Amino acid sequence: MELNEKIMRKYDKRNMFYLLKNFPTHCYEGYSYFIPELNKNFDKIVFTGMGGSAISGDIIKVLLEEKNKLPVFVIRDYVLPEYVDSNSLLIVESYSGDTEETIATLNLGLKKNCSILCVSSNGEIEKISNKKSIPFIKIPTGMPPRCAFGYLFFPIYKFFVEKKLLMPLKKSFFKKIEDWVNDFSSVNNNKAIEISKKIYGNFLLIYSENRFYPGILRWKTQIAENSKSFSSINVLPEMNHNEIMSFYYPNWLIKKMFVLFISSGLENERIKKRIEITSNIISKKVKEVIEIKLEGDDLFEKLIYLIVLGDWVSYYLAMENKVDPTETKEIKILKEDMKKGG
């Protein structure tokens, strides 16, 4: 399909293009927020959230584990593990503020006397934070949660900067995000459009090394919600010990597989070799294999580049699929049915 403004107006009924285009502003504003004080010491960090609200924790975990000794955990559930205690920092993120799993973990964190920081635009989490005097970061409302990543992530990044656990961000970093978005929003032709056209009508598999798992998870969730499509993700070296044997059956599916390897240039030599060998093995069986080389000067920049690229790929794939990228009918049905009967 030839992408143009007429097609985008027809299927992008609530203008997700505008939200994606304004992602650099979301990031910069998010990083500019006032961060409330948390004076109590902690010996572990626990993120709770679901969907787009949990990706922040995944990325912070990767970044902190590079150079810090504090353990970081990400919980996507109604419950908190037993190791969460009064020495834990609990970071609670829910864009709507009404995510029932996240509200449950917030209440458990209060019972365990954790240090707590909440991020939300509204809802029950804001009410609980006000009632219990929990440090709270209020972010803008009125957008799909998955489009609020800039507001959900960058205040938390700044929190850890102020705790001297992460490096401050320079203006040049936000300029890079702006440049990437400008490239991907040019509908004449760009890398995101090229990838979306290759994916269209095929089954996408994405592989990366472990540190880029948050990025490829973001691809999977964005392709699911925006594009209404299935995809599969895995990491090396783990997939070399099992999934590499999967490329036989069902044969009709194997022939429709489009495989994407993420290359950062930061992999150790053994991982680089595994990517090369794995690509050679499965390229003889699937429809196509390509490698994406990430832009950016370090791990963090490359992760953000991967996320920005994936968001735009999912948008253009939605246009190829002729679906509204904002609409999430089945999620709404599930939430409504969950409310019935308590």
The answer to whether 206 and 231 are in contact (CB under 8 A) is yes
Distance of CA 210 to the CA centre of its chain: 15
What pLDDT is attached to residue 2?
74
205: which 2 tokens? 């598999």
92: phi then psi, degrees, rounded to nearest 5: -105, 120
Domain boundaries, the chain: 23-170, 189-321
> Are 23-170 and 189-321 the same fold in CATH?
yes
Active site residues: 225, 241, 339
Average pLDDT, integer, range 234-249: 98
What tens digit of pLDDT does each residue of 289-342 get? 999 999 999 999 999 999 999 999 999 999 999 999 999 999 999 999 998 866
Residues in the chain: 342
CATH 3.40.50.10490 holds for 23-170? yes
What tens digit of pLDDT does each residue of 30-72 get? 999 999 999 899 999 999 999 988 999 999 999 999 989 999 9
Global pTM reads 0.96
What kind of fold does domain 189-321 have according to CATH? Rossmann fold (3.40.50)
260: which 2 tokens? 């994407």
What tens digit of pLDDT does each residue of 77-95 get? 999 999 999 999 999 999 9
Compute how many other C-beta atoms are within 10 angstroms of the C-beta atom of residue 248: 8
What pLDDT is attached to residue 342?
64
* Strand-strand pairing, 88-94 and 115-120: parallel
